[in-house]
Amino acid sequence: MVISELKDYLLKTFTRLEEVKPLAEQDMAGLPLFLQKSNNFYQTAVLEVDMVLAEQVHQESTPVQLGKEYNLLKKQFNKPVAYVFKSLSTYQRNRLLDLRIPFIVPFKQLYLPFVALSLTEVNEVVKRERSTLRPASQCLLLFHLEVERISHLNFQHIGSRLQYTPMTITRAAQELSDFGLARIEGRKDKFLLFKDRRSYLWEKALKYLVSPVKINGYIDIAPTEYMLFKTHDNALAEYSDLSPGRREAYALAPDDFQSLKAKTQLNIDYFEGNVRIEHWTYPPGKLTTTNIVDPLSLYLSMRDDEDDRVSMALDQLLKKVLW
């Protein structure tokens, strides 16, 4: 339990420590019910300063939500409040520090600005954080940008539209929240909130987005039993003044690529062939209603091409995206 670790940590950190004990019932009179249910409250004193500790039951609130709740708790208790966490991502820690929200992660980090304390364990092993979005998270974001605005839609509705499992939608939404691109609202019935205009959101997210192409190579004949989506320079020709390429180019969904490969029908040559084939990390069909891959995924797949004609065509493509 986090609170037992907290007691050991505080005893190790401070030579004098008041007992950490549950907050008295009378002190919580008038506190909104959702805060009572979502937190376990304790009281103690650090450096002779009385304070309240709030341990989140499920640790579901975003840093911004915590900021709002933190202000309510300070007003309720009329004394300093600090959140207690078992763990925090680097992004979450930085946001809490930016918002000046006191917190303690036992044996890892302590931030109590009301007593001018900020400590980090020097022997802490920090897990490497992702610098880019996972495929499902990227697909969810692009769906909002290109297909349908999903701000204020609940997770169940988003899942049915994208045909992703509830677990996948939950993880993708949390990642978008962690990257500061969206906000999760609600408790039982959760929904995503994108506060930025789509043009600004695209620019903001660009550094976290990657090419959807996992593998590309060449085959002799295009398979006919799978849904193929025109891609690469042939697709770019549909969105710009660029001339079509001399060979066919198609994108395949992950499951279709693996199925094709399992049937041993896919003998890929990574240098030359009649048909370019791309294995995408998310199904192209989730983001388009035609047989052409969506423009933003196409942009991401070709933005590193050094051909000046391609660069100019990509600029034309972005200008045609209506926001």
pTM, whole model, 2 decimals? 0.61
What is the DSSP code string of 160-210? HHHT--HHHHHHHHHHHHHTTS-EEE-SSS-EEE--S-HHHHHHHHGGG--
Determine the pLDDT at residue 124. Answer: 43
Which residues belong to CATH 1.10.10.10 in the chain?
A: 135-208
Out of 1.10.150, 3.40.1350, 1.25.40, 3.40.50, which CATH number does the structure's domain 2-120 have? 3.40.1350
Task: Give the fold, CATH level 3, of 135-208.
Answer: Arc Repressor Mutant, subunit A (1.10.10)
pLDDT band (50, 70, 90) for residue 17: low
Ranges 18-22, 64-68, 266-270: which has the least confidence: 266-270
pLDDT at 123 over 50: no
pLDDT at 126 over 60: no
Q: How many angstroms separate the CA atoms of 80 and 37, rounded?
A: 20
Which residues belong to CATH 3.40.1350 in the chain?
A: 2-120
